[in-house]
């Protein structure tokens, strides 16, 4: 069993960046309290360090050695990580430097759409049963039906916001992806340890997205609602980083057991 090259230095750098944005998030919260304008103006360091973490994960995926479960599986992972990087570009770069503020929801919408594609790719990857498996996963019918229902409700005026409708569709896709990952033990293509990384990676990712939802429920400055939203926002990447690392290393034979 060989070990992926440069894994230890890679994890050390990720750990340093993690420590920087984690400490900075809570320091800014200590300085600003639950005041959204102050938090936004003091968070540029965190945004760029968090984006750097995703970029490093993508680079690691692109330069994985041949010790992977298969070329097609690795390609799915690489494309998925690139799409996640596009999503984080919208959330952490463009959303925070864009002017005027009226176009900010557009970047949020784009980021959610990128994560939709990311989760759909994961669903396809995690339902494959062999190296050459090219089937279309029937489980995608569930989020497709949910998307159709939400679209009808949007057209009927129940969901007036395009962003709310898109987030609702993403939620359906995310739940589908979580269910598929939790049932990964039934998939003989993925060895036990790789399956566990996929399962726990998606569970942690799901918790992170729940925290994202809580963080969006902001209220007036200094209110309990705003306080809880800020705390949730500070915890999102505590879950997101290990989730992405679990998904990344699930493609590596170093974590595989012989069938």
Query: How confident is the model over 187-246, as pLDDT tens digits?
Result: 777 888 999 999 999 999 999 999 998 887 766 666 777 788 888 888 999 999 999 999
Tell how far CA 255 is from the center of its chain.
21
Q: How confident is the model at residue 1 (pLDDT cuts 50, 70, 90)?
A: very low
Q: pLDDT exceeding 90 applies to what percent of the chain?
A: 33
245 vs 46, higher pLDDT: 245
Query: How confident is the model over 116-149, as pLDDT tens digits?
Result: 989 988 998 888 876 666 666 666 666 677 777 7
| Domains in the chain: boundaries | 7-255
- The predicted pLDDT at position 166 comes to 82
How far apart CA 80 and CA 208 sit, in angstroms, is 18
- Other CB atoms within 10 Å distance of the CB of residue 145: 11
Q: How confident is the model at residue 255 (pLDDT cuts 50, 70, 90)?
A: very low
Q: How confident is the model at residue 165 (pLDDT cuts 50, 70, 90)?
A: confident
């Amino acid at each position: 069993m060989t070990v992926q090259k440069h894994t230890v230095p890679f994890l050390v750098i990720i750990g340093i960046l993690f420590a920087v944005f984690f400490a900075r998030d809570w320091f800014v919260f200590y300085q600003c309290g639950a005041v959204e304008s102050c938090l936004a103006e003091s968070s540029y360091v965190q945004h760029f360090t968090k984006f750097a973490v995703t970029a490093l994960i993508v680079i690691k995926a692109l330069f994985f050695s041949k010790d992977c479960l298969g070329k097609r599986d690795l390609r799915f992972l690489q494309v998925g990580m690139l799409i996640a990087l596009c999503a984080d570009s919208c959330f952490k770069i463009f959303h925070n430097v864009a002017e005027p503020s009226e176009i900010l929801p557009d970047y949020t919408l784009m980021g959610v759409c990128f994560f939709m594609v990311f989760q759909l790719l994961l669903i396809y990857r995690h339902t494959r049963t062999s190296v050459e498996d090219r089937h279309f996963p029937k489980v995608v019918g569930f989020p497709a039906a949910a998307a159709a229902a939400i679209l009808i409700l949007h057209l009927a005026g129940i969901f007036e916001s395009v962003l709310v409708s898109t987030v609702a569709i993403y939620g359906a896709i995310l739940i589908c992806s979580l269910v598929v990952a939790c049932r990964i033990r039934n998939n003989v293509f993925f060895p036990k340890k790789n399956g566990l990384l996929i399962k726990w990676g998606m569970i942690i990712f799901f918790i992170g997205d729940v925290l994202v939802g809580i963080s969006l429920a902001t209220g007036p400055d200094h209110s309990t609602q705003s306080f809880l939203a800020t705390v949730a926002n500070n915890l999102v990447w505590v879950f997101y980083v290990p989730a992405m690392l679990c998904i990344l290393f699930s493609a590596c034979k170093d974590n595989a057991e012989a069938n």
